[in-house]
C-alpha cells in the first residue's frame, strides 16, 4: 500500500530520531547555578588608571625624587600597589639639585613596603656621568637604597665594570659591586683596549 502519509523507512527514521532525542535528554546533567555564575562572572576591576602621572617624593620640605610615566595603574587591594607597565622615569634630587636619573621599561611599587622593583633595560646615570645598566633594580624608598640582584655594567669615561649584584645609595653616588667579573679600560675615540 502506498497511499499512507509515512512509508516504512520514514517511520524507522522517526523512531531513531525520537530515541536519539530521549537519549540526549536523559544524558544531560542538571545545571548547577553556582557553576553557571562562576563561568559567566565578570572580573571586577581592581585598579584605577592614570595617564601621564607625576609623583613627587619629598622629605623635610625638600624634593627627593620625581617619578613620571606614560601610564600608571593603582591597585585598590590590600597593598595599594602602583604599576608602571609602559615604562618609568625617576629623577633624584639632593638639596634641590638633580643628582641622578633612572629609567626602566617596567616598574612595580608596593606602597606598604615602599619598595619599587624596576626591570627591562634599566639605566641609571649619576651626576658624575657614570652609567649603570641592569635588567632589574630594587629601589627602597624608605632606606634610600638601590639594589641590583643580577648582572650589571657601570660605564664612565675611563672604564667599564661588569659584575653581578650591586648596592648603592639612591643617588648612585656610593656603590658596591658584589662580584666583579671584569674591568675594561675605555679610550676616547678608540673604544676598548
CATH of the domain at 139: 2.60.450.10
Chain centre distance of CA 157: 33
Domain count, the chain: 1
pLDDT for 14: 62
Residue 36 maps to a domain? no
Is 8 contained in some domain? no
Of 8-22, 90-104, 110-124, 175-189, the least confident: 8-22
Identify whether 18 is part of a domain: no
Please check the confidence at residue 69 and state whether its pLDDT lies above 90. yes
Q: Is residue 20 part of a domain?
A: no
- C-alpha cell at position 1: 500500500
pLDDT at 71 over 50: yes
Q: Tell me if 74 sits within 8 A of 80, measured CB to CB.
A: yes
Question: Is the residue at 174 inside a domain?
Answer: yes
pLDDT digits (tens, 9 = 90+) for 74-120: 988 766 799 999 999 999 999 889 999 999 999 999 988 999 999 99
Cα 103 to chain centroid distance, Å, stands at 14
CA distance 63 to 56: 7
For residue 164, is it within any domain? yes
Cα torsion 123, 138, 108, 141: sign: negative
- pLDDT score at 96: 87
In a domain, 162, yes or no: yes
Neighbours of 11 (CB within 10 A): 11
**Residue-range definition of the domain harbouring residue 64:** 47-192
Domain annotation covers residue 13: no
Write down the pLDDT at residue 153. Answer: 94
Amino acid at each position: 500500500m502506498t497511499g499512507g502519509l509515512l512509508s516504512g523507512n520514514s517511520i524507522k527514521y522517526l523512531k531513531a530520531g525520537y530515541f536519539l532525542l530521549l537519549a540526549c535528554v536523559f544524558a544531560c546533567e542538571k545545571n548547577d547555578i553556582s557553576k553557571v555564575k562562576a563561568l559567566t562572572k565578570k572580573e571586577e576591576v581592581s585598579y584605577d588608571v592614570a595617564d601621564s602621572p607625576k609623583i613627587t617624593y619629598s622629605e623635610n620640605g625638600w624634593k627627593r625624587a620625581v617619578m613620571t610615566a606614560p601610564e600608571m595603574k593603582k591597585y585598590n587591594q590590600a597593598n595599594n600597589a602602583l604599576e608602571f607597565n609602559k615604562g618609568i622615569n625617576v629623577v633624584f634630587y639632593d638639596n634641590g639639585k638633580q643628582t641622578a636619573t633612572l629609567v626602566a621599561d617596567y616598574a612595580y611599587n608596593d606602597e606598604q613596603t615602599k619598595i619599587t622593583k624596576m626591570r627591562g633595560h634599566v639605566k641609571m646615570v649619576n651626576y658624575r656621568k657614570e652609567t649603570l645598566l641592569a635588567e632589574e633594580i630594587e629601589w627602597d624608598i624608605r632606606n634610600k637604597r638601590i639594589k641590583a640582584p643580577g648582572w650589571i655594567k657601570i660605564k664612565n669615561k675611563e672604564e667599564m665594570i661588569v659584575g653581578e649584584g650591586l648596592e648603592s645609595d639612591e643617588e648612585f653616588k656610593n656603590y658596591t659591586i658584589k662580584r666583579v667579573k671584569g674591568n675594561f679600560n675605555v679610550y676616547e675615540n678608540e673604544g676598548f683596549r
